[in-house]
Chain A
């Protein structure tokens, strides 16, 4: 890849990164709503599946856009939910699963807000 192409790509990636951060805000709202649903026995399974799906999406794009920490937390969340839902002997407890989701939510909210302010001040 030529230097010029690389510069253009970097510029475009910055634009996509800003869009990702804006979208992350909406996704966080959805994740917080789902987190409440997880507390309810009837809604739990579906809410966990949806949480897993959103975490999967975040994992896919966060890493490519240089937001490695969010990407890794999303991957851990997805993996933990998959194991929990598998119901196997070695699967994590509900408490452990909720703890992983909470860590993901807290860190993502923090990273999202700091990334937002960075992009505004840039």
Chain B
């Protein structure tokens, strides 16, 4: 795995190089500033697989560098691990919003650093596999355009929507934050009902547009609070939202319906996409950490997905949030 480490402290760069070498990663390039990193990125013909970026650097900091790397098409999915000695949650939130996949803290715990690198390595392998699959599908392009290089359950990445991050990054974010940092935060899921039908009838492009548009609508609604949104697969979105905000405003539900309605989503052939959005129950993350916080994400998803089932069985008791949406994409 080709790794680029960026830190303005040469001691940290040497430490990283040696620690990474000790766990079998010898292809490590270092840069002492964001400017030097840009030079390397321009000059190197073989792309890097993974990045380690210090958050606090003079001039261009690690968060700005992360945003810049993510804007390069070849690095949209590359794991970016932020390095921080800062316990301030605001920096960590900003880093994830900028597209970070995970973070490691200074001083380094070698076992922990090794574990985070192994997670990144698995992501790189999974990405290589997906790319290969995509190439295979394109090479044997079927006449039926609804065939997709992924499954409904896949946690599709969503690009270019502020505040929307990969699901694995969301898991890393909540599982690494301390109990105190999560104080007052909650998790809430939204589910596209009847998503199996839509998935079967949509082309890959149509389905990806739908997921992106819905995520954009969710971020517009959550704009007033601190939040991170992720697509969890199976037509479900998970949002972790702001500290101190006990309840989302009631108007959020109608606001989201209105935004989605105004998008007039439809398939490429012009048929409107008919669907409802179901909101699950908000689950507070306070006093949770590690595994139990991951369970909270699953629980939130389950309330949204099961809520949908309840609605289909008993439409009169449905949440106000269940709204028919018609329209077109693309």
| A-to-B contact residues, CB < 8 Å | 1, 5-6, 8-9, 12-13, 16, 19-20, 23, 53, 56-57, 59-65, 71, 75
Contact = CB atoms under 8 A, between A and B. Distances in A.
Contacts of B114: 1
B22 interface: yes
A13 B18 contact: yes
Given A56-B85, A60-B106, A61-B107, A19 B22 contact: no
Contacts of A19: 11, 14
Interface in B71-107: 85-86, 106-107
Nearest to A17: B11
Nearest to A16: B14
B172 to A, nearest CB: 20
Contacts of A6: 22
Given A8-B22, A64-B107, A71-B107, A56 B15 contact: no
Given A9-B18, A56-B56, A16 B107 contact: no
Nearest to B58: A53
Given A56-B56, A62-B107, A1 B9 contact: no
Interface of B: 8-12, 14-15, 18-19, 21-23, 56, 58, 85-86, 106-108, 114
Contacts of A9: 18-19, 21-22
8 contacts: A1-B22, A13-B15, A53-B58, A56-B86, A59-B85, A61-B15, A62-B107, A63-B107
Contacts of A75: 85
Given A61-B9, A61-B107, A16 B15 contact: yes
A6 B110 CA distance: 11
A60 B12 contact: yes
B58 to A, nearest CB: 8
B251 to A, nearest CB: 33
Interface SS of chain A = helix
Contacts, number: 57
A20 B106 CA distance: 15
Given A56-B85, A71-B107, A16 B22 contact: no
A61 B22 contact: no
Given A59-B107, A71-B107, A64 B15 contact: yes
Contacts of B19: 9
A20 B108 CA distance: 15
A9 B106 CA distance: 18
B106 A61 contact: yes
A60 B14 CA distance: 13
A29 B268 CA distance: 67
A75 B9 CA distance: 16
Task: Please indicate which of the listed interface residues A12, A56, A61, A71 has the most CB atoms of chain B within 10 Å of its own CB.
Answer: A61
B13 to A, nearest CB: 10
Nearest to B86: A56
B107 A20 contact: no
B107 A1 contact: no
Given A23-B11, A53-B56, A57-B9, 11 more contacts: A5-B22, A8-B22, A12-B18, A20-B11, A56-B56, A59-B106, A60-B106, A61-B11, A61-B106, A64-B106, A65-B11
Contacts of B86: 56
Task: Please indicate which of the listed interface residues B15, B56, B114 has the most CB atoms of chain A within 10 Å of its own CB.
Answer: B15
B85 A60 contact: yes
B71 to A, nearest CB: 27
Task: Please indicate which of the listed interface residues B14, B18, B107 has the most CB atoms of chain A within 10 Å of its own CB.
Answer: B107
A96 B146 CA distance: 68
Task: Please indicate which of the listed interface residues A6, A13, A53 has the most CB atoms of chain B within 10 Å of its own CB.
Answer: A13
Contacts of A53: 56, 58
Nearest to A82: B88
A22 B191 CA distance: 58
Contact of A16 (B18, B58, B106): B18
Contacts of B10: 23
